[in-house]
Structure 1
């Protein structure tokens, strides 16, 4: 049994003592797991009721209840708006509590009540609706989904970059696309090229510099000359990397950094541009600390197997503000400067791509992607240790697909740390995501309400759900989305509490409807007209089979090969079930297309998959969803998916490149036909 004191502490900390498993049974968190998780969660402080919090979040037009210090008898408030204007007013009673009256000026303001002061965030009721971003004359919007690293450009050295995003956005815009939804572009580790999953970043505040396009700053002759200086063998190695169907991340990363260092040392160091200095100044302490971390991480990684984890560094180096770190940064100033430069180049490259999308006619532009967590050994956790649950990881509880549960090897915000700092880390993460695009997809958006947290060293089954201040976080998403004039898509696939989707809908956060999951209780595929008007429609996602792969059973082949079927599962019965599902999908596609008679079902072959992919694209385009998103894998009819969840080896996750160059990748007959299906289904002329 749990200790009564621990039970009360757990509730105060937001830890759920019980949870419902995938089979509907209630499970209890073990006392040992509770103790270990409490040690992590409580290390960041606990809620107090001694005064105003660091930030009060309000929704415009609604009264805002306040928690005032005991004995506080203030009856008035003073508000200093962001623009410097001031206003005063009387507090009121709302549902038995002291409250601010309804306010309507959106923004972050200074609130003073008696001797207390805090930041008041006044958010709009919802994120900008799509109707405010697109006019009604060009048809309903549709988007392409792309893995940035998979795009190809001449001379890219084997890794796709933002220059290819710009090129593809112009091509897609001419075909009628209103957005390009790209994979996460968060900062990774320069000294850890073997970690390349875009969902396992070092920091979500900065960018993956491997995606930077040197041509965003330097002319073609300069870049070409820098590549040639390493000799013919280097140039030949680059050519092989560019031609390969899979990315060799360690090799391509090493050669990309060679190019970046040469450009920095030969072109930037002698004549530092004023724009770079301005970027550095605007980035402030956060940018400086990220560059210092990269330098420290590179230094310690070469000095032992444990050097890649800052928690094993000398004590002084674990503290970003220590004098020892400052001395190190001064001694290795040139290396710190290099990492500042690469961030500038990446930011400028992404800005060029986003501007190109809009200039080409996209009404939304680039939709960025925000990962659910960060690597605890990365720069953001090092710089902001009290704002993240360092010492716990996040994942998912055991279910039918993962009987042992999932441990993603990531960590997340500390709820107490968020409150104590006025949600600083959350707001800055949102701003980084909105910085260059017309939208943001939030991975595992349910994390704003609760996340499965696992004690360090424990199994996924030893975890528990941790609650987050969703009533503050959702309005902050709406406020930042309004400022960016951007659409928000929340990845809400999986276990979702009953009220979460309703709350997301109220705040204007679109959900995701994915073809494979839109089924009735009897297994039939739901007609397009019944799909949600509060979600974006997808044929598939990066974690699911492509339509062609699903039809051919490629995903089942992989799962059988890698032993991913649940214990006791008969592969033959799984394949028989897939055949039943093929029949159901083929019927649904033909009914939706208005066919008077359903043609014979195509075989589960590459040729047979072609009309199925065509039908799936047209099906998703015709749904009631306000935005349709088709990944490039389905536009091209590719059989392989970018990522196979639950695998770290055996399957080439995050390594596949698209066939053909970004400038012509949509020019094939299949892609042109599917673009026309999209245009027709979305009502484009």
Structure 2
């Protein structure tokens, strides 16, 4: 299973709804939200194999193993549907009457118990929340359902703002221990907000990783999405740090950390997450021996009480992994069940280690909060934009603690399409839509609440997963899968409810093939999209670059992403050479070079016609390259996009992508520090002093404001910090 994370294919036209002749098996599949066919291209429909449908239905608890079993399951479903008064979860937008209740039998009595314990005789005019709806039919049948009451939509962003996109581990400072940390993030937000007028900083998922030898470096295959990874801690910022009884021990650790940092910055070493964590764990063990003061102890107790069972499970998994390894399926049988007597007994025996991992979660949460406060104190309109990965590692803490919510024997991926004829398997177990609905989406709600607590916005990776996901049966190629549908109305209602409560924006990563209506539905609910310059073309017309005025406004607009070539590499064609050297080209090297050069020429011609290319003649190739990178950002500023994102490595001419989809050990995915055009690592301090960075961000800042917007009246300028310009 590759760990480079889901690829981000080019944006393509939305696919039509597939049409295949119905069979008993396909009817049963559709009744349970499993698609009997899919469309790899707009003009082609492919039927899912019977074997795939049978396996996926089995993962949903439906027997379709024989024709007789299919007949029996169809009959059972029909009987259950005829007896059911209410679905497990009902959605109500804006306090209006929930849809679908008019199908209840005449005379059905309704009663609502709100989150606050209040009883209402009507399902209308309710406050936002997840309430309980009780129904009693005239024939005596009763039913309870979760009633999700959400605002109609999320508010729009506060005018136009620009911000920086960065993979936190890649942002080393002279104080970090071999990879970027939350102290560096707080420093970055303070500087970018005050000195550069930036409105946000978007980071990679900071979810807790699965420990290993080596640890999977991909932030998109975490052990837990609910809790952050303590490897991001700035150890020196922990309040108990100065009071460690053996300061010499810490001085030794700091010396080793300095050597680790310098090996990355000066000797060309890759970021070694495991080595960083080994040092931090040793230091944190010493810090933990310092008694908490009364106030700190009370705060820790509050955190434990607030996080409850979820934190206890999380910390227990990490304590057990220290003893038995990180694949919980290989643990002694009794420990594979988080609710077993054996697990309870082991938790008691390992209580000291459970407390250690609980304490790490608390410390990391506190530093995340400090980073967001640093951003808002610096005048950022949004602040931190956190990233929610599409799933979790099958061996990790969430998959162990929440087994009832995951589909056993299934993996999330992508079907074959024009860009990958073999499809993709991301190695992530999917949530079961039926179990989510039955719980009122409890694990999803808890996840969102935790992520939104210290965020100004949340980016949702592969946001189309709120509607459907491609399930691949274990041991089968990605071609032998099918789409499974989720209740998008409920998933969106929960998302809008929790984000509105937290006062945050939501950005959906909606690149790639998107089924009809998804982008429109997301926009209707106030979820911003993601638009990447190179992919914004008139796909339904001549295929040429989309004029800036034709871009959507409700989006985060960027030139590139962590999964794509840097802008310098794309403009020079170096990304083709990189892929050629790794044997990843689909065609011949000459064909790929020619196609890339033609694409660049087309874009440069567009930029020239719009008058955005300035200073590209008469200078050195390096100065021309800088001018072209400034020009593509000027293009973004001509669009009506509410948010403009600048990939931080682009500001210093970095050539290397942080992740190269389709590779594993052939390329150092997720292990590269930010570097300049010559490949020299660049520290946070170097960034702050970089003339090239300041020249680019001055263009973005000056031309995105109300008076200088090159596209006319496109909204308010970026949040202005108190520190003036660069």
- TM-score normalised according to structure 2 size: 0.85
**Cα shift at 1:207:** 0.7
Other-structure match for 2:13: none
Q: Which of the residues 180, 185, 204 maps onto 1:160?
A: 180
**Cα shift at 1:506:** 0.6
Q: Which of the residues 528, 535, 539 maps onto 2:548?
A: 528
**Cα shift at 1:497:** 0.7
Other-structure match for 1:79: 112
Other-structure match for 1:404: 422
Matches within 5 A, 1:523-562: 523-562=543-582
Q: Is 1:506 the counterpart of 2:510 in the alignment?
A: no
CA spacing shift, 1:242–1:634, aligned 2, 3 Å: closer
Q: Is 1:55 the counterpart of 2:55 in the alignment?
A: no
Asked if 1 retains the 8 angstrom alpha-carbon contact of 2:178 and 2:260, the reply is: no
Which range moved further: 27-36 or 514-523?
514-523
Other-structure match for 1:344: 362
CA spacing shift, 1:15–1:527, aligned 2, 3 Å: same
Matches within 5 A, 1:275-354: 275-301=299-325, 308-354=326-372
Asked if 1 retains the 8 angstrom alpha-carbon contact of 2:240 and 2:292, the reply is: no
Other-structure match for 1:188: 209
Other-structure match for 1:671: 693
Other-structure match for 1:25: 44
Q: CA RMSD in A?
A: 2.8
CA distance in 1, matches of 2:482, 2:499: 31
Asked if 2 retains the 8 angstrom alpha-carbon contact of 1:182 and 1:367, the reply is: yes
Q: Which of the residues 131, 147, 154 maps onto 1:120?
A: 147
Other-structure match for 1:35: 54
CA distance in 1, matches of 2:412, 2:618: 42
CA distance in 1, matches of 2:611, 2:243: 53
CA distance in 2, matches of 1:561, 1:601: 33
**Cα shift at 1:564:** 1.2
Q: Is 1:563 the counterpart of 2:583 in the alignment?
A: yes
Q: Which of the residues 145, 148, 151 maps onto 2:165?
A: 145
What whole-Å deviation, never above 9, does each CA across 1:133-170 have from its counterpart, x for those lacking one? x2x5xxx2111111111112333211211111110001
Q: Secondary structure at the match of 1:21?
A: strand
Q: Secondary structure at the match of 2:41?
A: coil
CA spacing shift, 1:225–1:271, aligned 2, 3 Å: farther
Q: Which of the residues 613, 621, 628 maps onto 1:612?
A: 628
CA distance in 1, matches of 2:324, 2:132: 43
Asked if 2 retains the 8 angstrom alpha-carbon contact of 1:57 and 1:476, the reply is: no
CA spacing shift, 1:558–1:602, aligned 2, 3 Å: farther
CA spacing shift, 1:594–1:563, aligned 2, 3 Å: closer
CA spacing shift, 1:602–1:12, aligned 2, 3 Å: farther
**Cα shift at 1:234:** 6.6
CA spacing shift, 1:177–1:230, aligned 2, 3 Å: closer
CA spacing shift, 1:34–1:83, aligned 2, 3 Å: closer
Matches within 5 A, 1:624-663: 624-658=640-674, 659-663=681-685
Other-structure match for 1:111: 133
CA distance in 1, matches of 2:656, 2:366: 32
CA spacing shift, 1:31–1:3, aligned 2, 3 Å: farther
Asked if 1 retains the 8 angstrom alpha-carbon contact of 2:253 and 2:279, the reply is: no
CA distance in 2, matches of 1:444, 1:639: 25
Asked if 1 retains the 8 angstrom alpha-carbon contact of 2:329 and 2:395, the reply is: yes
Q: Secondary structure at the match of 2:144?
A: strand
CA distance in 2, matches of 1:496, 1:587: 29
CA spacing shift, 1:67–1:168, aligned 2, 3 Å: same
Other-structure match for 2:602: 584
Asked if 2 retains the 8 angstrom alpha-carbon contact of 1:445 and 1:492, the reply is: yes
Asked if 2 retains the 8 angstrom alpha-carbon contact of 1:490 and 1:509, the reply is: yes
Q: Is 1:438 the counterpart of 2:456 in the alignment?
A: yes
CA distance in 2, matches of 1:384, 1:590: 54
CA distance in 2, matches of 1:207, 1:319: 23
Asked if 2 retains the 8 angstrom alpha-carbon contact of 1:59 and 1:124, the reply is: yes
CA spacing shift, 1:232–1:452, aligned 2, 3 Å: closer
- TM-score normalised according to structure 1 size: 0.89
Asked if 2 retains the 8 angstrom alpha-carbon contact of 1:168 and 1:663, the reply is: no
**Cα shift at 1:486:** 0.8
Q: Is 1:360 the counterpart of 2:378 in the alignment?
A: yes
Other-structure match for 1:227: 250
**Cα shift at 1:274:** 2.6
Query: May I ask how many residue pairs the two structures share in their alignment?
Result: 656
Other-structure match for 2:432: 414
CA spacing shift, 1:642–1:550, aligned 2, 3 Å: same
CA distance in 2, matches of 1:440, 1:631: 17
Q: Secondary structure at the match of 2:688?
A: coil
**Cα shift at 1:662:** 2.6
Q: Is 1:14 the counterpart of 2:33 in the alignment?
A: yes
Q: Secondary structure at the match of 1:247?
A: coil
What whole-Å deviation, never above 9, does each CA across 1:224-272 have from its counterpart, x for those lacking one? 7553145966754454356555302232222222222222235569998
Other-structure match for 2:4: none
Higher relative contact order (CA 8 A, sep 6+): 2
**Cα shift at 1:429:** 1.9
CA spacing shift, 1:271–1:438, aligned 2, 3 Å: closer
Q: Which of the residues 231, 248, 272 maps onto 2:272?
A: 248
CA distance in 2, matches of 1:261, 1:121: 43
**Cα shift at 1:383:** 0.9
CA spacing shift, 1:634–1:219, aligned 2, 3 Å: farther
Q: Which of the residues 114, 121, 137 maps onto 1:88?
A: 121
Where does structure 2 lack aligned partners over 5 or more consecutive residues? 1-19, 64-72, 137-141, 675-680, 708-726
CA spacing shift, 1:513–1:35, aligned 2, 3 Å: same
Q: Secondary structure at the match of 1:42?
A: coil
Q: Secondary structure at the match of 1:164?
A: helix
Q: Secondary structure at the match of 2:60?
A: helix
CA spacing shift, 1:104–1:590, aligned 2, 3 Å: farther
Other-structure match for 1:209: 230
CA spacing shift, 1:67–1:86, aligned 2, 3 Å: closer
Q: Is 1:393 the counterpart of 2:411 in the alignment?
A: yes
Asked if 1 retains the 8 angstrom alpha-carbon contact of 2:29 and 2:36, the reply is: yes
CA spacing shift, 1:624–1:411, aligned 2, 3 Å: same
